[in-house]
Amino acid sequence: MKVLNKQASDGLDWLYPPICEICGLGLSGSKALCEPCAERLPRIAPPFCDVCGEHFQGLIDGPFDCPNCKEISFHFEFARAAMDRSDSTLELIHRLKYGCEIHLGAELGRLACRAFADRRLEVALEEKWPLVPVPLHRSRQMERQFNQAEEIARSIAIETGLPVSRLLKRVRRTETQTRLSRKQRMENLRGAFTLREPFPETPPPGYLLVDDVFTTGSTVDECAKVLRKAGAGRIAVLTVMRG
C-alpha cells in the first residue's frame, strides 16, 4: 500500500506540480511551503508571557506573566503558539478554514511543531500526552466537511508520534467570537463543550489542546475546564499562531 500511495502521489505531482503557497516556486515532495518562505514566517521568540504566550518587545529578563494573565485564572497551565501573528500565516489559516484547502493542515501542523522547542513541552513528548483538537459544532463541521484543528492535530501527530484523541465535542453552536470582548467570549462559550466519550479510568499524565489560533484563550479555557472537571491532570495548549 505504501508503494501504491507513493506512486499515486508521484503521479499527481507530475500532473499537478506542487508549488509554494506563498512565493509560487516549484516544490518536490508533500510540503506546501518552500524552506525560505517557511523560515521567513515570524516565530514566537522570547520574551513572551509564560501563560498565554504573547510576545513582548523590549528587554525582559526571566519568566513573566503579562498584565492580562495576572487577572485571569485559566484551567490550563500555559498556552504556546509557534508563530507570531503575520499576514502570511493568517492567510494560510484562513485558506484552510474558509477556503477548504485541507492540504494546508499538514503544513500548519508542521509549523505548530516548532513550539516544541519550548522546554516546558518536553514532558508532553516524553509522556505521550494525547493531542485533543478543539471540536466544531456538528452543523458547522457539516458545512466545512472537516475540522481545521483536527487536520492540524493529525499533522502534529505524524511529526511527533503523539496520539490524537477526539475526547471533546461541541454541543452548542455559538455566534462568532471575532467582535466580542473577553468577558463576552467567555459567556458565549459557557457550556458549549462536553466529553464525547467516558473519561478514561486511568488517564494519561496530561493533555495538549490543539487549535489554529490563540487569541483571548476563551475557547481553549472552556475546553480545559471540561477536561479538568472530568479528572485530567496537566493541560497545556498548542496553537499554530498567537492572535
Classify residue 186 as exposed, middle or buried by CB count within 10 Å of its CB (0-12, 13-18, 19+). middle
> How do 168-170 and 193-195 pair as beta strands?
antiparallel
Q: What is the dihedral of CA 145, 148, 149, 151, to 10 degrees?
A: 80
**Grid cell for residue 146:** 472537516
pLDDT for the residue numbered 3:
42
pTM: 0.89
Residue 14 has pLDDT above 90, yes or no: no
Give percent helix, percent strand, percent coil of the chain, each to the nearest 5: 40, 15, 45
Residue 29 has pLDDT above 80, yes or no: no
pLDDT in tens, 114-163: 999 999 999 999 999 999 999 999 999 999 999 999 999 999 999 999 99
Distance of CA 206 to the CA centre of its chain: 16
pLDDT in tens, 198-239: 999 999 999 999 999 999 999 999 999 999 999 999 999 999
- Residue-averaged pLDDT of the chain: 90
Tell me phi and psi for residue 90, to 5 degrees: -65, -35
pLDDT in tens, 55-73: 998 778 778 899 889 888 9
